[in-house]
Amino acid sequence: MDHAGAPKNPGRGLTTLHFDSWEMGAQNWSADFAAAFEKSRGYPPLRFLPALTGRVVDSVEVTERFLWDLRQAAQELVIENHVGRLRGLAAKRGLAFSSEPYDLNPCSNMEMGAVADVPMCEFWSKGFGFSTEFSCIEAASTAHTTGKAVVAAEAFTAAPGEDWRQHPASMKAQGDWALCAGINRCHSDLGQSAGNQFFFMADSWRKDVRQTNIGFVTGSFRHHHTDHESRQQPRHSAWNCSRACRHDRIRSLHCFI
């Protein structure tokens, strides 16, 4: 990012730093967490740690208050030192910041998502993966309550076995649902390494992130990389509501930290 610098032509080229879904478990402890907890909450947490095993310390009320403080402290530290830090680094270089703030993180999804310029979600091709529709409702709610115009989605993701059996006609009903849920931007290209681990995605949108183009569009190719083969499917444009959507521009750097 330091080498590339800020975008020379705003709205074109690299415009966005993206943080993908958490998927690392709900960590709530670190080497300096106890000190950070005491600083923010005014008391040391060590005496109350048996509460993490389901035991009552002093009373049910006191135990519940400690657990609330613990969750709030973990959330504040993640937002300040992780997504907040990433957004600051992006802004310093003239980039927007998008985030998928869910999947076992130690935060409220909506509080974490509110940090992003573009809150994101995901939905998988119906019948070919996980049920993540909840993230779409959360992203739309986050955007609505924080005044964000764009709700973006990792769209039509599929698990092994999909093998490009989907096509625009079979995907339309689910796409209509996504639009009705409040999503108004979907990424296009995606790459997968062996084991179905995503490592790259790219958006095909020319407009600035503050503007809204409603529609779905794929890029020049969509790629699945497996252990033994690489599959490519020619471009399809469905629900395409804007001429700008038809211009392919790699716009987002998706980082997995």
Structure tokens at 119: 């809150």
pLDDT of residue 180: 94
Nearest to 130 by CA among 102, 152, 106: 102
Please give the Cα distance from 60 to 222 (Å, whole number): 54
Q: Residues of the chain whose pLDDT is less than 50?
A: 188-215, 217-257
88 Cβ contact partners less than 8 Å away, ≥ 6 residues apart:
none
pLDDT of residue 161: 76
pLDDT of residue 1: 64
Longest dimension (CA), the chain: 64
As a whole number of Å, the CA-based R_g of the chain is: 20
pLDDT of residue 230: 31
- The DSSP bridge partners found for residue 182 are none
pLDDT of residue 160: 77
pLDDT of residue 118: 93
pLDDT of residue 7: 66
3-state secondary structure the chain: CCCCCCCCCCCCCCCEEEECCCCCCCCCCCCCHHHHHHHHHCCCCHHHHHHHHCCCCCCHHHHHHHHHHHHHHHHHHHHHHHHHHHHHHHHHCCCEEEECCCCCCCCCHHHHHCCCCEEEEEEECCCCCCCCHHHHHHHHHHHHHHCCCCCEEEEEECCCCCCCCCCHHHHHHHHHHHHHHCCCEECCEEEEECCCEEEEEECCCCCCCCCCCCECCCCCEEEEECCCCEEEEECCCCCECCHHHHCCCCCEEEECC
The two beta strands, 152-157 and 185-186, are parallel
pLDDT of residue 214: 45
Share of the chain above pLDDT 70, in %: 69
Please give the Cα distance from 192 to 188 (Å, whole number): 13
- What residues does each domain of the chain span? 16-25+96-255
Structure tokens at 53: 């095993």
